[in-house]
Chains A and B, each alone.
Chain A
Amino acid sequence: MMLPLILFGGPVVGYLIGQYVLVDKFGWGEFCLPVSVGLGFVAAGMQTVKLIQRIRNYESHNKP
């Protein structure tokens, strides 16, 4: 359940930060929104890859 939550949460967090912080609070242009959503996707992907790599590392360490 962790990986779907990360993959779902990344873009949502990107959208929220883009909309409410960058656009509304800092007054940056609307172009920030798709960029921050895209960065959210990238962050979620990176985190997913890291988690899978670490689980694989543990599995390879624990092999008899």
Chain B
Amino acid sequence: MADPIHHETTHATGAIHEAVHEVVQHAAEHHEAHELPNWITLLNDHFDTGWTHFLHQWENVIFSGAIACLISLVAIRAAKKDTLIPMGIRNFVEVLFEAIEAFVTGILGPHGTKHAPFLGTLFFYVLLQNWLGLVPFMKSPTSAWSTTVAIALVTMVYVQITGIREQGVWHYLKHLAGNPQNIFGIILIPLMLVINLILELGAVPFSLSLRLFANISSEDRLLLNFAQLTLGSPFYIGFFFQLFGNMLAIIFSLVQAFVFMLLSTVYISLVLPHEDHEHEAETAPAH
């Protein structure tokens, strides 16, 4: 006589297997095997209406907007609980912020404190976007180049504004012209100006965005391939590889967010007043 409980369990396992298989097949067929599908792509495939098309088109903006809202809510909630002894979420946020501040001032010096809010927000924004892809039916917006380019452009604008504010317009233009000290430096001004403009306005956002996009999109591909391996392997042995892949993705996402913040800090440090100006100030005649 057949055991009904065993039969039900087998039936449920089979249903889950079919559902997961369908999801992975869906990813392979409809998304050119780039990443596991998220709830928006599933909605779009099942209902196929104007709204779902709209959501699908703007899915990166929706997911990154959700992360921005989450960070804002946590920050507002932490800021509201103004007590002498920080407790709960405020305590947690303070610990994180102090760690970021210590790191930033370690590179930029004591004046770096004012850049800590921007750099800290950047770190958590990128980190949470990277980790979002590990949640089932969610997506890492940073696996799309458009998102990383947007973040990198914001960073580039912030760096340039910081450079103009800290150095002043004249020294900033001199910095772009390569700080000419002699006649040879003056001859090189047109070249230096173009090279520095390419460097500041092109190379910085390009390198920041490409590094993050390439790492996170390859992580997503890795997770999809491990999911396919899990379904294709006997006794789901591939699951252990998938677990390993998820652990790697958690670590790499953290590393990439940290690298993004570190490089942004270094770019800010490069536009701050430096030794060339200090040397000029030392050698300038006293008035």
Contact = CB atoms under 8 A, between A and B. Distances in A.
Contacts, number: 66
A40 B191 contact: yes
A39 B106 CA distance: 37
A10 B195 contact: yes
B274 A13 contact: no
A23 interface: no
A58 B178 contact: no
A36 B178 CA distance: 17
Most buried by A among B178, B191, B204: B191
A1 B195 contact: no
A45 B202 CA distance: 19
A6 interface: yes
Given A9-B198, A39-B187, A58-B269, A1 B192 contact: no
B203 A54 contact: no
A5 B107 CA distance: 24
Contacts of A57: 274-275
B169 interface: no
A2 B18 CA distance: 48
Interface in A20-64: 36, 39-40, 42-44, 46-47, 50-51, 54-55, 57-58, 61-62
Contacts of A14: 191
Interface in B167-218: 178, 187-188, 190-192, 194-196, 198-199, 202-204, 206-207, 210-211
Contacts of A55: 266
Contact of B195 (A13, A58, A62): A13
Contact of B199 (A2, A17, A36): A2
Interface residues of B, number: 26
Given A5-B198, A9-B203, A17-B190, 19 more contacts: A2-B199, A2-B203, A5-B203, A10-B195, A39-B187, A43-B191, A43-B195, A44-B195, A46-B188, A47-B195, A47-B196, A47-B199, A50-B178, A51-B270, A54-B275, A57-B274, A57-B275, A58-B107, A62-B107
Nearest to A61: B109
A9 B197 CA distance: 11
Given A5-B198, A13-B191, A47 B203 contact: no
Nearest to A41: B191
7 contacts: A9-B199, A42-B188, A43-B178, A47-B195, A54-B275, A61-B109, A62-B107
